[in-house]
Amino acid sequence: MRVDAIQQALEEAGLDGWLLYDFRHSNPIAQSLAGFPPDAHHTRRWFCLIPAAGEPQWLHHAIEAHHFAAKPGARTAYSGWRDLEENLRRLLAGRRRVAMEYSPRNAVPYVSRVDAGTLELVRDCGVEVVSSGDLVSRFEASWDAEGLAGHRRAAQILGDGARRTHAYLVECARRGEAPSEYEVQQKLAGMLRAGGLRLDDEPIVAVGPHAANPHYSPGPDGSLPVKEGEVVLLDLWGREDRPGSIHADITWMAFLGRRVPDEVQRVWDAVAGARDAAVAFLRERAADRIPTRGYEADDVARGYLAERGLDRYFIHRLGHSISVEVHGNGANLDHLETVDDRLLLPYTGFSIEPGVYLPGRFGVRSEIDMYWGPDGAEITTPMQEAMPALLA
């Protein structure tokens, strides 16, 4: 546990402590911060107060004391519910404001990990509970120097996989072949694994109307042929196969033909323009050190599409936090699905991925990753400047 750094953050935020709580893996954020592995076998409730000053204080069940014996700080065991509530009241005595994994009105589900009953119990101890959202971004979603370097290496492997897949589709078309989405997906996944990436899920290969479904995933049955005259969407992600490595996540587009149709080109221009508008906004805000919240970049991209009459076809957030998980626990760029008012914090990364999806016809998305560094915001992945016509 990075107690010193957490305590400095608590002091800066005017908080008396960060109260971690978990029951049967209901709060993976608390579990990770406490240093427990994902498969730790806990069957009873536990708390840990990291105070703004002083040592951590643990409250755990007596039958699971062995799980906490090596943890830094003071430890108190309880057995019955009366013991739990009495010791929790003692733990919080004299505290005014503590952070927990809670989000008002469940505005940010990634942070809302503590159930309403536990919040009632804590508040009955006389403390105000505030969201730990920015603390989570700082201590659960930040990248160190090696994380950034590994992310860049993963991004290059993804970009190479996208280029090689486009080349493969050209070869197939020239031979008169039309492999299925599933066959192309499996070939692409093999390229990425051979490049050294760990894939938690298979990449997305979608053509035509399937590209209008943002989370379409091809299977051995029902896949469409990837044939001449189709819009082709590739969404691929992965990380180096080592503990703590950071994901990269990109989406590349193409038209399998000699010329991109006018309507497809118009949609691509709008999507790429929304992407670039968000990037310019973030770069300017980071360079000027202006505090920026996740929803603000979403507004910029969505406004760009609205000016072109396409915002109603942009049906998901602009971007998501990226860390060890491809969808991390840091701030998302979102003012559609949620109001993510968490700050974009130094040493964190996220995707930028506007999309326009015309149901039953085709969809276009352009996805890159960005890193909010201490000296500015930068693009960290390969980016398509134009939508290629692969048979031109």
Residue 38, pLDDT score: 85
Residue 289, pLDDT score: 95
Q: What is the pLDDT along the chain (392 residues), one digit of tens a residue?
A: 789 999 999 999 999 999 999 999 999 999 999 999 988 999 999 999 999 999 999 999 999 999 999 999 999 999 999 999 999 999 999 999 999 999 999 999 999 999 999 999 999 999 999 999 999 999 999 999 999 999 999 999 999 999 999 999 999 999 999 999 999 999 999 999 999 999 999 999 999 999 999 999 999 999 999 999 999 999 999 999 999 999 999 999 999 999 999 999 999 999 999 999 999 999 999 999 999 999 999 999 999 999 999 999 999 999 999 999 999 999 999 999 999 999 999 999 999 999 999 999 999 999 999 999 998 999 999 999 999 999 99
Residue 207, pLDDT score: 98
**Residue 286 Rama label (left phi>0; alpha psi -120 to 50; beta):** alpha
Q: Which CATH architecture has domain 145-379?
A: Alpha-Beta Complex (3.90)
Ramachandran angles phi, psi of 15, nearest 5°: -110, 150
Helix (H, G, I), strand (E, B) or coil at 341: coil
Task: Give the C-alpha distances (Å, rounded to integers) separating 51 from 48, 57, 73, 76.
Answer: 9, 8, 11, 16
Q: Which contiguous run of DSSP H or E holds residue 173?
A: helix 145-174
Residue 319, pLDDT score: 98
Residue 143, pLDDT score: 97
Residue 39, pLDDT score: 87
The CATH homologous superfamily for domain 3-140 is Creatinase/prolidase N-terminal domain (3.40.350.10)
132 and 102 Cβ atoms separated by less than 8 Å: yes
- The strand pairing partners of 256, in sequence order, are 230
Domains of the chain by residue range: 3-140, 145-379
Whole-angstrom distance, CA of residue 165 vs CA of residue 184: 8
